[in-house]
Amino acid sequence: MDYVSALVPPAVMAVFFVGVIRVIVKTQGGANKAKEDAIVDAALARADSAPQTTGEAKG
């Protein structure tokens, strides 16, 4: 029976890991993908158009 108690934790971790991977794969894309891409594109455009500062003190 020692072999059963030795195999249970890795088996439980493997099942949990597969579940996490499935959730990650399922949530990629879908209905919100275009909305998320538009938000990222807007943030990048805003960052590109912002004036650049050098960090030097004026005066």
pLDDT at 13: 95
Tens of pLDDT, residues 1-42:
788 888 899 999 999 999 999 988 887 877 777 888 888 899
pLDDT at 28: 80
Please provide residue 54's backbone torsions phi and psi, each rounded to the nearest 5 degrees: -95, -15
41, two tokens: 């594109």
pTM for the model: 0.47
Residue with tokens 């890991």, as numbered in its chain = 17
Between CA 3 and CA 10 the distance in angstroms is 12
Between CA 28 and CA 37 the distance in angstroms is 12
Between CA 15 and CA 8 the distance in angstroms is 11
